Homo-oligomer: A and B are copies of this chain.
Amino acid sequence: MAQDDHQDEDLMLADNPAEEEVRPDDRIDDERLDEENTLKADYVRSVRDALEAGDKGAVYDLVEPLHPADIADLVELCDADERVELAAAITDLMSSDVIAELNDYVREDMMEALPAEAVAQIAEQLETDDAVQMIEDLDVADQQAVLAELDDEDRAAIESALAYPEETAGRLMSREVVAVPEHMTVGSLIDFLRENVDLANDFYEIFAVDHLHHPVGTCQLSWILRTPRNIALSDVMKRDQTLIPVALDQEEVALMFQKYALISAAVVDESGRLVGQMTVDDVVHIISEEASEDALLMSGAGEGDINEPIRDAYGSRVRWLIANLGTALLASAIIWYFGAAIEKLVALAVLMPIVASIGGNAGTQTMAVSIRAIAMNQLTEANTGRILWREMRVALLNGVTIAVLIGIATALIFTPMLGAVIALAMVINIVVAGFAGVMVPVMFERLDQDPAVASSVFVTMITDSMGFFAFLGLAVAAGLAG
């Protein structure tokens, strides 16, 4: 994003290089950024102090040297009320690049605080995909108000993007593509690129299309730069390219980029016509989001964004806690059933949470491994049997190890028989946990449900119940509480 603007400037100033600003290395900047490239707390403190003192000039001078991505970080680090003041103090630094880099929630907040014309003005500066991202979360009335302020071309582009479902290639793609006929020579292609000032500034591939606008090949810019002018594009391009259907879900798009190591790829509509492209810089965010969301989904933390409104965070998390309350009640019912035994031998109450808790941990381990393997397309119908068998062996090894440790400790502190009971219960529960840790996510995947969302509740339910049942049941069977 930042590059576009700068590049624009450079092209404009091409005959006056002296005006160019020289900032040799403002990324590794000891005053403001620490060694992890994060804004330093002291620096943020000084900006906030200047804000509080109402010294807009000082705020501006402090913020001015920052990269747009760092300005976005700074806005996020401020409290909600400080953000508005900050934006007011640095209006001309709040460029479209900063807006595009902002966290979704923070951006939505700020957009809602601005009048429709101001939002439209920002949207016009953004590339279509960034503008769509900015507008899609506004409520319908605000969205209409913003769209009404846009010029016809921008409005048409954004409306056509909004016509596709959220999180599909059609929503996310950029509509600016360099597409030329395959018989064009490298020389005339370069001339075409030099003459057409309207083209996008940053692109990484040229797409060759036939007369129906169907892509027939793709050509990296480096190949073009290394080829003599008289050679035709058809002799340099690669014909078997990865095409992205316009309706493809963003998660699948991200997996394709990863799998085939793509920099950009053509997006085609239902009839195979080239309608846009996706570039890796847009996909990188999706890859990281999709990859990191499993930890959040498994813990039931919803979006898990620290900028999410408290009400939303509460809503998504409490639902999960209530589901887990249900599974905890089931476990309690099992304990209740064995209440008489516990009354006779209180050691059972002391030891029973150990069996349930370690089983739960073992189940979570296997489940995390399975969910990741499913997400990476490494665990499929073709190898479920082998992976299950592998996990059962790991579970047996884990179960025996933990059983020996807790069995000996229990035998020494309580009785050898109780030691034997807890050891056996532990092996049973860890093996059951291993089985559930693979099969529960696999089953959700087969049912076309996201395994990361629902597996945890079921696996915990199984390991908790089985933990109490195996331990208390074996104890009673062994006559320990007779």
Contact = CB atoms under 8 A, between A and B. Distances in A.
12 contacts: A17-B235, A21-B239, A27-B242, A77-B380, A201-B223, A287-B291, A291-B292, A299-B364, A299-B365, A304-B368, A306-B370, A332-B350
Contacts of A260: 2, 27, 67, 69
A332 B317 contact: no
The 10 closest A-B pairs by CB, nearest first: A291-B291, A41-B381, A295-B295, A221-B221, A44-B382, A291-B292, A349-B349, A299-B368, A23-B240, A301-B365
A204 B222 contact: yes
A202 B225 contact: no
B204 A263 contact: yes
Main SS class of interface, A: helix
Given A37-B252, A239-B20, A284-B287, A76 B299 contact: no
Interface centre among A2, A76, A304 (most CB of B within 10 A): A304
Given A301-B369, A342-B349, A402-B321, A262 B238 contact: no
Given A221-B222, A281-B261, A335-B350, A36 B377 contact: yes
Interface string A55-81: 000000000000101000100110100
A243 interface: yes
Interface stretch (A4-12, A131-139, A151-159, A165-173): A4-12
A296 B369 contact: yes
A179 to B, nearest CB: 14
A103 B379 CA distance: 13
Contacts of A381: 41
A346 B353 contact: no
A300 to B, nearest CB: 6
